[in-house]
């Protein structure tokens, strides 16, 4: 497990122990005081109740001071006022009950948040720690964080893949449920990439490490989990602002009741009913539960703010490769210009594409390996994300990418090569030494379930679906027409996709625009959208700074489920706040008119808090359109 994640868990454990001590400091004196009171020792009982109030009040005052220094003002000030007033007015039993309710509420909130974070904390807890490394003809156990690209490790049956790597001597059968939520094992053949965090559900196999553990799939996921757990959503900050108004209303009602009734205990009764308030409990619990539910369905949302935006999505801009298609392009044809041999064009292009992580580049390299072509290391490579790359291979200047990108770096006529191209094929142009060398035609057919996934998104509230792709226009037209999309544009550079997002924002009718891309070449568009979704766990590691969410499972319809989860989370949070504050106000009015004594008011408020938190936890129960438990 990464050190920050381990430190966070240790800190959470220490905080939990401190809360238990605080609860004990309130419970034990209360029990002793009640026993002394039954024995007729009222003076000793009052002293015991005061002892049960004082430490909780002291800790609370320190917390309030730290919050004020951080620029936050919360409703805990009401708890401090009610405990101090109880001691001042000679009502130590009420003060001890409020102290118990406060300490107990802290425990209840901690339990609720822990329950809500369960899926997310489980992700961090399952981070790989050790690896079995091939070293000097033997095997040694090393820390996963010490692995580097090029290491060869043994992944035993039941072991967790320690870092992203290529399967050697496959097949490998992997349980990807910790990454994607899918329970069906995946079968990877020799040379295919295995993500860190997957569990070996089959026989032992060797793995060639491709990137260090810190840059691997699972590390990216853990970083996103930590960001989500520490985020403060706009709705939470709005609740903080409401807290000041609620404090002022509570104080005004308490002071008014004391003056009109000529009884300062009326003020105490009002204050204890207002201690604490569902406003500060319901919203974070409901949002954290929503993040956890979305993670369980394979959508890792980076923050509570992103979850709120997800609830407002009305327009979708999607890249083609790997979303509407399988993303496993296969080379079907190599067309070459005169004086160029097909295998030589493919070999030089694949040699250059070793420097790119684009899905088509990986397919090109794989095709060259299948043909047993010897690849050379490229030099001085320059890549224009999503468009192409150029560099030097064996003394030749090579450019590979979209036709427009490569044509700008080669003088010559491409028309003969482009004649009678299959409409749905993806085309990669190759120029060698400034001359058109050939076209590589890849087939990446539309997924069988693409139409169903688009339909699910429309049912989930998406009103406008646009396809923005760097592929050639003819291929994009074919996909857009077949799937009945609202708009589609091909041969786009990254800035063109940003322009498409601006157009979709107009079609969103005030809603949010979601962009779904591969997380590397689409980074500018992901950042420009209201909510950017990176595809796949490796995209998550590469684009943690720009993506608001990561789709861990290979199914776009899970985004529709995440949208439903987000909407329901916000609805339940607002419902909890409305009912909680409403019930608190009713109790405060009743206390102001003398119908509730301080102890009764404290017990009533705790009951309200329990109901509010349990209602917020309803987010964890699947609702309509959110998918079944896996």
Q: In degrees, to the nearest 5, what angle opens at C-alpha 426 toward C-alphas 421 and 429?
A: 80
H or E, element range at 118? helix 118-125
Alpha carbons 109 and 103: distance in angstroms, whole number: 10
* Cβ count within 10 A of residue 493: 18
> Strands 464-468 and 313-318: what pairing?
parallel
Measured between alpha carbons, how far is 494 from 501 in angstroms, rounded to an integer?
A: 11
**Catalytic-residue membership of 448:** no
Q: Cα(516)–Cα(539) distance, rounded to whole angstroms?
A: 11
Q: Are 321 and 425 in contact (CB under 8 A)?
A: no
CA–CA–CA angle 495, 501, 502 (5° rounding): 95
Q: Which of 485, 531, 487, 488 is nearest to 512 (CA)?
A: 531
Apex CA 78: angle with CA 74 and CA 81, to 5°? 135
- DSSP-assigned states of every residue in 343-402: HHHHHHHHHHHTT---HHHHHHHHHHHHTTPPP---EEEEEETTTEEEEEETTEEEEEE-
Catalytic residue among 8, 76, 164, 319: 319
CA 409-413-414 angle, to 5 degrees, is 85
CA distance 22 to 104: 9
Report, as residue numbers or ranges, the catalytic residues: 319
């Amino acid at each position: 497990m990464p050190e920050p994640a381990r430190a966070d868990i240790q800190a959470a454990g220490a905080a939990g122990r401190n809360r238990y001590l605080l609860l004990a400091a309130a419970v034990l004196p209360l029990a002793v005081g009640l026993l002394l009171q039954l024995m007729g020792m009222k003076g000793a009982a009052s002293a015991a109740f005061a002892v049960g109030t004082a430490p909780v009040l002291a800790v609370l005052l320190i917390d309030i001071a730290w919050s004020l220094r951080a620029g936050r003002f919360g409703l805990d000030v009401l708890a401090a006022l009610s405990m101090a007033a109880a001691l001042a007015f000679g009502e130590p039993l009420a003060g001890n009950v409020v102290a118990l309710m406060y300490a107990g509420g802290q425990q209840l909130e901690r339990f609720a948040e822990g329950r809500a974070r369960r899926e997310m904390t489980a992700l961090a807890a399952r981070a790989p720690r050790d690896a079995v490394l091939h070293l000097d003809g033997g095997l040694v156990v090393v820390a996963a964080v010490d692995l580097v690209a090029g290491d060869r490790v043994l992944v035993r049956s039941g072991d967790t893949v320690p870092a992203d790597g290529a399967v050697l001597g496959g097949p490998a059968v992997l349980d990807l449920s910790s990454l994607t939520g899918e329970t069906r094992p995946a079968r990877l053949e020799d040379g295919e990439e295995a993500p860190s965090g997957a569990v070996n559900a089959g026989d032992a196999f060797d793995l060639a490490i491709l990137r260090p553990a810190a840059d691997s799939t699972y590390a990216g996921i853990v970083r996103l989990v930590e960001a989500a757990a520490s985020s403060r959503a706009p709705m939470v900050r709005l609740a903080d602002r409401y807290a000041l108004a609620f404090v002022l209303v509570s104080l005004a009602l308490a002071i008014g009741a004391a003056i009109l009734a000529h009884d300062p205990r009326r003020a105490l009764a009002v204050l204890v009913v207002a201690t604490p308030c569902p406003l500060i409990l319901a919203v974070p619990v409901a949002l954290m539960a929503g993040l956890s539910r979305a993670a369980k369905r394979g959508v890792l949302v980076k923050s509570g703010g992103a979850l709120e935006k997800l609830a407002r999505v009305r327009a979708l801009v999607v890249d083609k490769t790997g979303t509407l298609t399988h993303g496993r392009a296969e080379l079907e044809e190599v067309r070459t210009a005169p004086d160029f041999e097909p295998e030589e064009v493919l070999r030089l292009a694949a040699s250059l594409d070793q420097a790119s992580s684009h899905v088509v580049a990986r397919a090109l390299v794989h095709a060259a390996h299948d043909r047993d072509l010897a690849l050379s290391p490229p030099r001085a490579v320059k890549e224009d994300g999503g468009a192409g790359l150029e560099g030097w291979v064996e003394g030749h200047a090579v450019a590979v990418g979209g036709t427009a990108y490569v044509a700008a770096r080669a003088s010559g006529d491409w028309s003969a090569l482009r004649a009678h191209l299959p409409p749905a094929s993806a085309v990669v142009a190759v120029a060698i030494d400034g001359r058109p060398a050939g076209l590589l035609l890849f087939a990446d057919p539309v997924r069988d379930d693409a139409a169903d996934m688009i339909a699910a998104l429309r049912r989930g509230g998406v009103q406008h679906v646009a396809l923005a792709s760097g592929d050639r226009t003819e291929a994009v037209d074919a996909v857009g027409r077949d799937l009945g999309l609202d708009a589609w544009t091909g041969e786009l550079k990254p800035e063109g996709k940003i322009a498409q997002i601006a157009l979709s924002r107009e079609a969103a009718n005030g809603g949010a625009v979601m962009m779904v891309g591969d997380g590397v070449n689409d980074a500018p568009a992901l950042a420009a959208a209201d909510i950017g979704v990176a595809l796949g766990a490796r995209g998550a590691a590469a684009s943690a700074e720009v993506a608001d969410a990561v789709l861990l499972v290979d199914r776009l319809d899970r985004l529709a489920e995440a949208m439903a989860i987000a909407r329901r989370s916000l609805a339940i949070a607002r419902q909890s706040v409305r009912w909680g504050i409403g019930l608190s106000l009713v109790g405060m009015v009743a206390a102001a008119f003398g119908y509730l004594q301080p102890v009764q008011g404290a017990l009533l408020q705790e009951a309200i808090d329990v109901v509010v938190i349990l209602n917020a936890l309803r987010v964890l129960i699947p609702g309509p359109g959110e998918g079944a438990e896996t």
